[in-house]
Amino acid sequence: MAPSAPRTRAAAALRMKQIALDNQGRTIRRLRAQLAIERRGLATTRKELEDTQVALESSHKVIVGLTEIGFSMSKKIEKMKVKKQQAKANHVECHQKFQARIQEAEDSMQAQHLIIEALVEEKNSLLQTIQGLQEANDAPAPFNDEWEEEPEEQPEEEEIEDITLGEGEIDDEYEIF
């Protein structure tokens, strides 16, 4: 039996090597499958990274576009602010001019009012003078602030001399309010 022992040992060693090779083969197949899975995962990750890169580039373009729009709008806003300030300044200037015109008109009206009061006083003084003259000339009725036309049928009355209007005198044809 001695010769079969080495064979058995050799066969056992071969069998052990065969089992180890089989195990290594299964391990290699399993590792290859894992490698294939990892490659597919990496391909998917690479695709996702490329998609992300495209999205980032697109996003960057959008950001650049929005930044340009923002700058443009900032410039427009600044222009609008300047225009608004100019409009406000123009409004203030117009308001001041109108206030000055209103003040001028009020001053003018006040001066005209004073002139009218002086003219009314002068008219009253002239009316008193006329009444005094009528009384001195024995006029039939006192002067009553309205001109009455005398009928032409009475030639025996003396005519009152027409007083010419000079500077600073009032013409009664114009009514003063």
Domain locations in the chain?
1-103
One digit per residue, the tens of pLDDT, for the chain of length 177 reads 455 566 788 888 889 999 999 999 999 999 999 999 999 999 999 999 999 999 999 999 999 999 999 999 999 999 999 999 999 999 999 999 999 999 999 999 999 999 999 999 999 999 999 888 888 887 665 555 555 555 555 545 555 555 555 555 555 554 544
Beta carbons of 160 and 134 less than 8 angstroms apart: yes
SS3 of the chain: the string is CCCHHHHHHHHHHHHHHHHHHHHHHHHHHHHHHHHHHHHHHHHHHHHHHHHHHHHHHHHHHHHHHHHHHHHHHHHHHHHHHHHHHHHHHHHHHHHHHHHHHHHHHHHHHHHHHHHHHHHHHHHHHHHHHHHHHHHHCCCCCCCCCCCCCCCCCCCCCCCCCCCCCCCCCCCCCCCCC
What is the rounded distance in angstroms from the CA atom of residue 109 to the CA atom of residue 75? 50
Residue 20: both structure tokens together: 């180890």
Indicate whether this model's pTM tops 0.75.
no
